[in-house]
Amino acid sequence: MLDIKLLRTEPDIVRENIKKKFQDDKLPLVDEVIALDKEYRDAKQKAEALRNNRNVVSKQIGVLMGQGKKEEALAIKNQVTDMAAELEALSAKETELEEKIRKIMLVIPNIIDPSVPIGKDDSENVENERFGDPVVPPFEIPYHVDIMEKLNGIELDPARNTSGNGFYYLKGDIARLHSACLSYARDFMIDRGFTYYIPPYMIRSSVVDGVMSFSEMENMMYKIEGEDLYLIGTSEHSMIGKFIDTIISEDDLPQKLTSYSPCFRKEVGAHGIEERGVYRIHQFEKQEMIVVCKPEESMKWYDVLWKNTVDYFRSLDVPVRTLECCSGDLADLKVKSCDVEAWSPRQQKYFEVGSCSNLGDAQARRLKIRIKGEKGTYLAHTLNNTCVAPPRMLIALLENNLNEDGSVRIPEPLRMYMGGKSVIEVPKK
């Protein structure tokens, strides 16, 4: 959410930013907010003047009563009563206008960083850098579910019976490999100085409003029937929510957190749910990174975060690249974002396995996350990034480590979590 002062003083900056994000339908909102804000400030100013006048007049009542001028005192008392009623009406108007302004401000996009490439959608995202050499083996790579089924590691039909499409049962060594990826990610992030958390898996609507846009919420989150609770779509939501309405000392910054959680998503939209596969699903697990820092340090931490994900995948010999998200592909709260994509030998292209985002002070403004320093109190900046999100990680691991006979090599860092096993063998019939 933007600072209202920016719309008051430099509305053209806000309009230009809306155009860069190809959201021209939101342009009228700028003038609407400016008009509502003027009405709000006029009402507030009138209320303050009326309040001061009431205080002055009220003092006269006692004086007049002391002088025996009861009728004059009663007239002024009635006048004060009328003022109180008018103040109550003005206060209600202020509250109503404030809520209208906030509701509109929540959908006006954040100001993007100047370095963000301008483009309409994800088809215009820009490749930044590649890490590792993509390899295509001299044999055919089957679809990831076929690889898992050959290794007796997945059951889709029973999951459809219990839960529907978008769910799965992992079992045996594939389930163990899934857990190994997460355990290694946890230790990988702890070794890099991040504090490990397991957060709540449900959050209140006040936190949802603070961490994401309404359109994202509608397309992603599951509401708990009859309660003010939502299942989290990522642990970033509850981890940022941890700081709601807090003031953090500069001495305690940056806050570097890494969190594990299951994630639950509707996945409503153009992509939809796969009937056979584990790339886009309703339920998965993830190891996340979160940073709360000073504004002047957020871009530095942005680079640290995406590099952590690249280093994690490269430590497992999976080739990756980073893809800069263009203006039209950025969610409204984001200042800058990039995807980390892993190489798929089967498709001979890269696919998304993580996303790193700098949200500036947008979440902090909504949730009142502030920093206290020598020069006073100011808003924090927040960032998040995916370290790893199985089962997408499984797809990358299986395809890049598949042997011609259908067995799968286990990368060295994962073996200690697999009981020392170096290969997942195809079960003998």
Q: Give me the active site residues, please.
A: 265, 280, 352, 355, 392
For tokens 């409003």, the residue is: 209
Distance between CA atoms of 123 and 328, rounded to whole angstroms? 10
* Tokens at 357, concatenated: 């985002």
Contact indicator for 233, 263 with CB cutoff of 8 Å? yes
* DSSP at 402: B
Helix, coil or strand: residue 71: helix
Distance between CA atoms of 43 and 378, rounded to whole angstroms? 27
For tokens 């409204």, the residue is: 332
Longest dimension (CA), the chain: 109
Residue 84 to residues 44, 57, 78, Cα–Cα distance (Å): 14, 12, 10
- Beta-sheet strands, E only, within 333-380: 336-344, 349-358, 369-373, 376-379
φ, ψ (nearest 5 deg) of residue 111: -75, 120
Nearest to 6, CA basis, from 93, 89, 108, 86: 108
* Tokens at 413, concatenated: 């860092």
* Tokens at 242, concatenated: 């941890």
Residues 6+ apart with CB under 8 A from 358: 113, 298, 299, 301, 302, 334, 335, 336, 337, 381, 383
Distance between CA atoms of 46 and 182, rounded to whole angstroms? 59
Angle between helices 70-105 and 27-66 (to 10 degrees): 160
DSSP string, 192-217: TTPEEE---SEE-HHHHHHHS-HHHH
φ, ψ (nearest 5 deg) of residue 342: -100, 155
